Amino acid sequence: MFDGFTQDQLPELALVIALAATPALIWSYLIFKGRSTSRWILLLAFFLGTLTVLPLVFLYDYLFVYFPELNIYTLIETNTTEVHITALASLMVVGILEEFTKSGVVRLIDKTKIGIQTINDAVKYSILAGLGFAFVENIVYFYQIWQQSANIGEFLFPIIFRSIFTVCMHMVFSGIFGYFYGIAKFARPILETDLWLGESSWLVKWWAKFMGTDEPGAFKEITLWKGLFIAMVMHAAFDFALQFNQFFPVIFIVGGGFLYLLYLLAHKAGDIIFGASGGKTTMARKDVDVVLELLGMWTRDGRYKDVVDICQRLLMRDPDNKVVQLFQAKAMEGQKLANLESSVTSLFQSKNVDMEDKSLRTLVKQKVLMEMLKEKQTTLPATAIQPALVVGGPKMPSMPKPVPRQTDPSSPQ
C-alpha cells in the first residue's frame, strides 16, 4: 500500500491524513450534531469502519499475490474481451467486497452489549462505518495522488471530488444497508403488522417453505440480502461511471442514493425502541387480536387519527406490544403524508377559482330546478289552474276578520 515509504515522507503522510480527516470531521458534524447518542458509541462505529479496510488490504496485497490462481480480477480479464464488460465485472467485485466488509460493523455492534435498539441505530452505525472506511481509503488515494501529481492543480481536484462525492457515496450506500438491517432485526413485529394490514408476500412464504423456516426468519434473510444487494449494485454503478470519467452520472447516482435513503427513513416505523422491556399486558390475547384487526382495517381506510387514539389507549394497558407501536408509528406517518399532500394540493388551488366554481355549481342547480318546475307546470291539466285564474270562478272560503285592537284615541292612526 505504501511501497518504498521512507521516514523522510512522514510530513507528506501527516498532511495526507489531515486532508482525509477533514471531510470525515465535517460530515460527522453535519449528520450527527444535536443527537443524543453517546459519542463513544459513534466513535466505536467509526473506528470499526476504519478496520474494515484491513481484510481488503490482506486480500489484494497478500492473498492475490501469493496465490494468483485465486485472483478474481485475473480470472475476469482472461475470460472477457470487451473492455466495458471487464470493467463492470471487476467493479462489481469491488462493490461486493467493500459493502460486505462494511456491513460487518453493524452486525458486530449488534452482538455486543450496545446492541441495535432502533432502526435509527442501525442506520447511524452503518453510516459511520462507511465514513470510517472512506477515511482510510482517502489516505491511501491521497498519498498515491500526491506522489503522481506534477502540480497542485492535478492534486487539488481529486482531493475535493473524493472528499465530497466518494465519502458521501460510502456513507449513503452503507446507510441503505443499515436501514434494511434494522428492518430485518425487527422482522417478527414488522411482519405481523404487515399481515394485519393484509400485506403478505408470496416470496416470504415461498422462501420459508423452501428453507424450512418460519416466515419471520425468511423475511429477515430476504431483507438482509435485499439491502446488501442494493448497496452493492449502486456502488458498482458509481465505480463504473467514475472509471470512464462520467462525472454527471456519478453525481446522479450519489444524489439518487441519498434521496432513496431519505425516502426509506421517511417510511420507516418511527424511532421505536424494540429492545426495551417493561410490564406485562393486562389484556387477553383474543382481545388484542380483535383490536389489531380493527387497527388494520382503519389503517387501510386512512383513518389515521382514530388509529393513533386507539393505539395510545391500548399501549396504556399493553406498553410492550411492538405491533401496536408499529401501527401507531405508521398511522402518524400516514397522517403526516396526508397533511403534506393536502398542503401541496392547496397551493395549486385559488380561493377565487374555488368560489367561482361553487357559484357556478349553484347557478346550474338553480337553473335545472327552475326548468323542472316550469316543465311540471306546463304538464298540469288546464282545469287544475283555470278556476284560480278566471274572474267569477269559485271563491275561496273567506277567512274570519281579525278583531280590531283597542288603541289610544290620541295615538296616530
The 3-state secondary structure of 171-188 reads HHHHHHHHHHHHHHHCHH
Nearest to 123 by CA among 274, 268, 14: 268
Give the Cα separation of 46 and 21 in Å (integer): 12
Give the Cα separation of 172 and 177 in Å (integer): 9
Give pLDDT tens digits along the chain (413 positions).
555 566 666 777 888 889 889 988 888 888 777 666 677 888 889 999 999 988 888 887 777 777 777 778 788 878 777 878 888 888 888 888 899 999 999 999 988 888 888 888 889 999 999 999 999 999 988 888 887 776 777 778 888 888 899 999 999 999 999 999 988 888 777 776 666 666 667 888 888 888 888 877 888 888 899 999 999 999 999 999 888 888 889 999 999 999 999 888 876 544 444 444 444 445 555 555 556 666 667 677 777 777 777 777 777 766 666 677 767 777 776 767 666 666 666 655 544 444 444 455 555 555 555 555 555 555 545 444 444 433 344 444 444 444 444 444 444 44
Environment class of 366 (CB within 10 Å of its CB; exposed 0-12, middle 13-18, buried 19+): exposed
**Number of residues in the chain:** 413
Structure-block grid coordinates of residue 191: 411482519
Q: Which string of DSSP letters, residue by residue, matches 314-365?
A: HHHH-TT-HHHHHHHHHHHHHHHHHHHHHHHHHHT--HHHHHHHHHHHHHHH
pTM of the model: 0.66
Give the Cα separation of 66 and 80 in Å (integer): 23
Nearest to 175 by CA among 270, 113, 274, 260: 260
Asked if 137 and 101 count as a contact pair (C-beta separation under 8 A), the reply is no
Structure-block grid coordinates of residue 172: 449513503
Tell me which residue has cell 492534486.
155
Nearest to 165 by CA among 247, 243, 58, 236: 247
180-to-102, 118, 143, 191, 394 alpha-carbon distances in Å: 14, 12, 35, 14, 90
Nearest to 140 by CA among 2, 332, 342: 2
